[in-house]
Amino acid sequence: MDISPEIARAAAEAAARQSYGKLVAWLAARTRDVAAAEDALADAFAAALERWPHTGVPEKPEAWLLAVARRRRVDAVRRRLTGEAGRDHLKLIAEEMEARMVDEDLPDERLRLMFACAHPAIDPGVRAPLILQTVLGFDAATIASAFLVSPATMGQRLVRAKSRIRETGIPFRVPERDELGERLAAVLEAIYAAFAEGWSDPTGTETRRRNLATEGIWLGRLVASLLPQEPEALGLLSLMLFAEARRAARRSPAGDFVPLAEQDIGLWDDPLIDEAEALLAHAATKGGIGRYQLEAAVQSAHTARRRNGRTDWPAIRQLYDALMAVAGSPVVAINRAVAIAEVEGAAVGLAALYVLGDDKRLMDYQPYWAARAGLLARLGTTKAAEEAYDRAIGLESDAAVRRFLQGKRAALRN
C-alpha cells in the first residue's frame, strides 16, 4: 500500500535513531570492517526511502534493514573475492545467509563496537569521534564542527581508524574482568569528551554541539544499562546528568554568563538532579571509587544549596583531595585551590594555586588565570589581579564569559 514519502522518511529516521548503532555493530562484528558495514547500511536506508512509500513500513524495520544490508554486503564481497583468497569469506557469507535474523531479536553488540573504537591501538584523539560516527551515525562534518577541525581532516582520521580496526584485527568484544579497567576507562573517556564538547555551548545556539551533549548522555545511559555493575559507568552518567541539569541557569535571559555560585537554583532541573543522586548512591554500593564518581560527588555537594541555601565547601575540598590522588590533573588542582580558598581563606588557596605555576600547560589555560585573578582580588592585590584578568580575558573565546571577566576587572578600579 502507498504511504506518503514523509511518513516513510519519518519511519526511516526513527529506525536510524533507535537502531543504527545496533545494525552497524552486528554487521561489523562479523568482519571487523566498519566502513563496509556503514556502506551496506547506507544502501539499506536508501532502499527503505525508495520502497517504503510503495510497500508500507515493515512490521520490523530493524530486521528489514539488516536483511537488505546483509544482502548488499554479500553482493559486494562476491564481486570482490575470487579463488582461494575468498573461501573463508564466502563460507562466512553462507553461514550468515542461513541465519533467520528477520524473525529473531537482533543482539545488541554496540558495547562491543565501542570497545573496538576505544581500543589502545586507536589514536586517543579519534576515539570519541569514531564512537559518535559508528554508534550514532554522525557524519564527519558534524563531528568536525564540534571538535574544531576541518571536515576533510576529520574524515581522513575516521577512515584511518576504521582501516586500523580491519587491518590489525582489533577484536569486537567486551574485555574480561581483569582487563576491563583500562579499556572501560577509554570508552568512558570518549563518551565524556563527546558530552563536554556539547556542554561547552550552554545556550544551545550551536545545534551540532548541543546534540553532542544529548548524545553523550544517551551513550552514557547505554553503557550503564549494559554494564550495570560497573560503578564508574554509573558515576559518569551521574556526572553528566548533574551538569546537564544546570544548563538553563548558566546564562541570564540577556545571554550573560552566570557562575555556578550565583545561579538561580529554581532553574535547575530537579528530576535530572534526583536521577543523578540515585545513580551516584547506587554506584557507591558496587565497590571501588573512581574519577567519575568523585567528580559527580563534587557536583552533588554543589547541589546541596537546593536544600539549605549553602554550598558545602568543606565536602568539596575533601572530594578534590581525593580526586588529586586518583586523577591529579592541573584542572583538578585549580578547582581544589578554589575550594581551599573557600574553606581556609584566599591566601591559602592562592598558595595552592602558585604551586602549579611551573606547569607550562597552564600558561594558556583561561581557568587558571581567572582563578588566580579572583583570589588576588580578594586579597586586595589589585595590580596583579588586573594582569591576571587581562590574561584570562585574552584567552577566553566565549563572548559571554569574556564580558563577565571584563566586568570583574572593571570592578577592581571601583
Q: How confident is the model at residue 156 (pLDDT cuts 50, 70, 90)?
A: very high
Higher pLDDT, 327 or 127: 127
The predicted structure's pLDDT at residue 336: 95
Higher pLDDT, 222 or 240: 240
Does the pLDDT value for residue 184 go beyond 80? yes
Does the pLDDT value for residue 271 go beyond 70? yes
Residue 180's contacts (CB-CB under 8 Å, 6 or more residues apart) are: 174, 230
Q: How confident is the model at residue 206 (pLDDT cuts 50, 70, 90)?
A: low
The predicted structure's pLDDT at residue 283: 96
Q: Which three cell numbers stand for residue 38?
A: 556503514
The predicted structure's pLDDT at residue 87: 52
Percent of the chain with pLDDT over 70: 88
Q: Are 128 and 194 in contact (CB under 8 A)?
A: yes
Q: How confident is the model at residue 330 (pLDDT cuts 50, 70, 90)?
A: confident
Percent of the chain with pLDDT over 90: 39
Higher pLDDT, 107 or 384: 384
Q: How confident is the model at residue 238 (pLDDT cuts 50, 70, 90)?
A: very high
Q: Are 373 and 406 in contact (CB under 8 A)?
A: no
* CB-based contacts of 338-342 (< 8 A; 24+ apart in sequence): 338/371, 338/374, 338/375, 339/313, 341/375, 341/378, 342/311, 342/313, 342/316, 342/317
Out of 70-79, 95-104, 349-358, pick the least confident: 95-104
Interhelix angle 34-55/61-80, rounded to 10 degrees, is 130
Mean pLDDT of the chain: 85
Out of 61-75, 96-110, 168-182, 366-380, pick the least confident: 96-110
CA–CA gap between residue 366 and residue 25 (Å, rounded): 40
The predicted structure's pLDDT at residue 296: 97
Higher pLDDT, 94 or 276: 276
Q: How confident is the model at residue 99 (pLDDT cuts 50, 70, 90)?
A: very low
Residue 376's contacts (CB-CB under 8 Å, 6 or more residues apart) are: 350, 384, 385, 388
Specify the pTM: 0.75
208, with CB counted inside 10 A (0-12, 13-18, 19+), is middle
The predicted structure's pLDDT at residue 86: 54
Q: How confident is the model at residue 174 (pLDDT cuts 50, 70, 90)?
A: confident
The Cα-based distances of 401 to 50, 102, 210, 212 in angstroms read 48, 53, 18, 21
φ, ψ (nearest 5 deg) of residue 251:
-135, 145
* CB-based contacts of 212-219 (< 8 A; 24+ apart in sequence): 212/132, 212/146, 213/240, 213/244, 215/132, 215/136, 215/138, 216/191, 216/192, 216/240, 217/241, 217/244, 218/136, 219/114, 219/131, 219/135, 219/136, 219/191, 219/194
Q: Which three cell numbers stand for residue 292?
A: 567519575
Higher pLDDT, 158 or 397: 158
The predicted structure's pLDDT at residue 55: 84
The predicted structure's pLDDT at residue 178: 72
Q: How confident is the model at residue 401 (pLDDT cuts 50, 70, 90)?
A: very high
Does the pLDDT value for residue 277 go beyond 90? yes
Quote the distance between the C-alpha of residue 258 and its chain's center.
Answer: 24
Q: How far is it between the farthest Cα atoms of the chain? A: 84
Does the pLDDT value for residue 138 go beyond 90? no
The predicted structure's pLDDT at residue 287: 84
Out of 203-217, 227-241, 327-341, 380-394, pick the least confident: 203-217
The predicted structure's pLDDT at residue 97: 44
